[in-house]
Structure 1
């Protein structure tokens, strides 16, 4: 029997998830109903955040965050280049300019010294990305944000379930953004969420996700009224109850999944020790969510082709954002962040998800090193 194809990541669905979704399908509310609020409350209880706003994607969460912070034309927002394009795209959506600051070569996390050098009088916010599931140096980024009066945003789309110095991801910045794409720690199919302790920011993001309208259909139904007003220019970034029921069900298994991801990562670490393939470093005093297992190897492209031919779905995360053609058209040039560009030539993402078997890690390593 042939060995199964190993993607770099995948969802984990069981009967409890299916049951939760079916219960919503049999209910009166398929969208803007009670399952949305329940999911938000569940994530707040897990992370310790005061408020959560569930939306249609991680990108939507980033966008409503930038709008709620009043980011606009003439503003600059500091972001790392080693991330998915949505991180900086959300800045562009608001008419502002992303300013790319380089990363630490050991971890590919945003380098606070590079951030400090990038701050100008136009800087309004810093966005740290918890790349691969490892939290940034949030204390250092917070100190910079306070010193310069800047908003601090955590793009934690990789890091639900992670911790930084005893604090759970979700409480480390002014706003924290999660994604619930199928390869992420928890999935709703598509979906995202913005968390904050600021009730004003939370209320503004809720309005923005629903066309800028002052109430939801469920709220009007409960009040027995019909009247509503549009008070700002918002978007249809709503997430439905079907998705949120799945997300709530998944949250119950998140701690076990994070532990399993870390166990698999330790197996990779041990097998690759002393070889030419170098895993990214894990910092002390953090709990890695292990969304991705990324290594560096100087012959990345040949290893990529060989592993794909062997049925192992390795990937590359990411091309530095400013090297994409659209960003080049905006005037960004190669050489802007040399650490990120050097890393891009070597990084390779190996398969990792909770349902992987120990022997499948051994298979990946065997093929990787052959």
Structure 2
């Protein structure tokens, strides 16, 4: 299903039209830190008797209607790899208050110590997907100062919001009425209609030449090989395609200062002037 034009999150009305008798679960993400429309998604899941899976890998710390992300799905996923606020090189966390589901997830994570001396037949294969002890220790150390990390990232976000206003023709940052707080995963710039996918890529190349680690963000799932192989239709995902073709990710982490942010944005503006021409209106 397609996404909402402003938030980038899954659009409940478009999702409802795609539900079939074969649908087993709804998977929705808090895109770049912005919470999805969880009240509507929960209603939809309940009406159809479906599992609701919350992907909060990009939204640690964000809140929706007074509740923190990770608390809306039947299970929720947090990711601990870069460039998120809590990074321990590898690993993720699944949150759930469903006891049966938690038991199955623990089995997939690793085998019990009592099972390691013998071959045990079971209904599920053991994935051995548990995070390593050293990485877990690193994550726990960061967890104790997560509020400080989020506050520092919020300060960097404020620097970006201040200087990005002079960047003509980009989509302004958006926060939905039901959202209390958004913690960015990345600093995203959505370029105006004068830019194509190719010109966005040229801007990325110019930024790399200037020493700025920018990136195209990101390749939609329906354009990836797994979905090509299954011949998934893409013509009705025009909002997703439109956003993906003109999205530009700029460096974003807790150690950036105001001067560095100003340099990054000015360099991006200069690159856009070199590459683009014509109307700067974002539509």
Range of TM-score over shorter length:
0.7 to 0.9
TM-score, normalised relative to structure 1: 0.67
Separation in 2, partners of 1:308, 1:174: 41
- Mapping 1:105-120, distance limit 5 Å: 105-120=5-20
Matches within 5 A, 1:17-56: none
Partners of 2:57 and 2:227 in 1: CA distance? 22
Superposed, 1:172-191 pairs within 5 Å as 172-191=72-91
Are the counterparts in 1 of residues 88 and 135 from structure 2 also a CA contact under 8 Å? yes
Q: Which residue of 2 is the match for residue 82 of structure 1? A: none
1:341 alignment partner, one of 213, 232, 241? 241
Matches of 1:121 and 1:128 in 2, distance apart? 19
Distance of 1:226 and 1:297 partners within structure 2: 58
Q: 1:232, CA displacement in angstroms?
A: 2.4
Deviation at 1:267, TM superposition (A): 2.0
User: Are 1:238 and 2:138 counterparts?
Assistant: no
**Structure 1: gaps spanning 5 or more residues:** 1-100
Displacement of 1:142 after TM fit?
Answer: 0.6
Task: Call closer, same or farther: CA 1:248–1:228 in 2, change over 3 Å.
Answer: farther
Aligned counterparts, 1:196-235, within 5 A = 196-210=96-110, 213=111, 216-217=112-113, 220=114, 229-234=120-125, 235=127
Whose RCO is larger (CA < 8 A, sep 6+)? Answer: 1
Deviation at 1:279, TM superposition (A): 4.1
Q: CA deviation at 1:311?
A: 0.6
Tell me how far apart the structure 2 counterparts of residues 158 and 267 of structure 1 sit (CA, whole Å).
20
Q: Offset of 1:280 from its aligned partner?
A: 3.8
1:227 Cα deviation after fit: 7.1
RMSD: 2.0
Question: Structure 1, residues 285-311: CA drift from partner, whole Å, max 9, x if none?
Answer: 332121111111143233222211111
Residue 43 of structure 2 corresponds to residue 143 of structure 1: yes
CA distance in 2: counterparts of 1:228 and 1:196, whole angstroms? 29
SS in 1 for 2:227: helix
* Structure 2 counterpart of 1:322: 222
1:258–1:290: 8 Å Cα contact kept in structure 2?
no
- Aligned with residue 34 of structure 2, among 134, 137, 144: 134
Q: In structure 2, the residue corresponding to 1:193 is in which secondary structure?
A: strand
Q: Does 1:278 align with 2:278?
A: no
Residue 363 (1) aligns with residue 263 (2):
yes
- Whole-Å Cα distance in 2 between the matches of residues 302 and 226 of structure 1? 57
1:6 match: none
Deviations 1:322-359 (A, max 9, x none): 11233212112441301001111110011110111111
Any idea what SS the aligned residue of 1:139 has? Answer: helix
The answer to whether the Cα contact below 8 Å between 2:83 and 2:186 also exists between their aligned partners in 1 is: no
Count of matched residue positions in the alignment of Structure 1 and Structure 2: 261
Given that 2:201 and 2:216 are in contact with CA atoms closer than 8 Å, whether structure 1 keeps it comes out as no
SS at structure 1 position matched to 2:129: coil
Q: Secondary structure at the match of 1:360?
A: helix
State whether residues 159 and 288 of structure 1, in contact with CA within 8 Å, keep that contact through their aligned partners in structure 2: yes
Q: Quickly say closer, same or farther: Cα 1:134–1:310, change in 2 above 3 A.
A: same
Distance 1:232 1:209, change over 3 A: farther
User: Offset of 1:188 from its aligned partner?
Assistant: 2.0
Could you tell me which residue of structure 1 aligns to residue 93 of structure 2?
Answer: 193
Stretches of structure 2 that go unaligned for 5 or more consecutive residues are 271-283
Aligned residue in 1 for 2:71: 171
Cα offset for 1:209?
Answer: 1.8
Residue 146 of structure 2 corresponds to residue 257 of structure 1: no
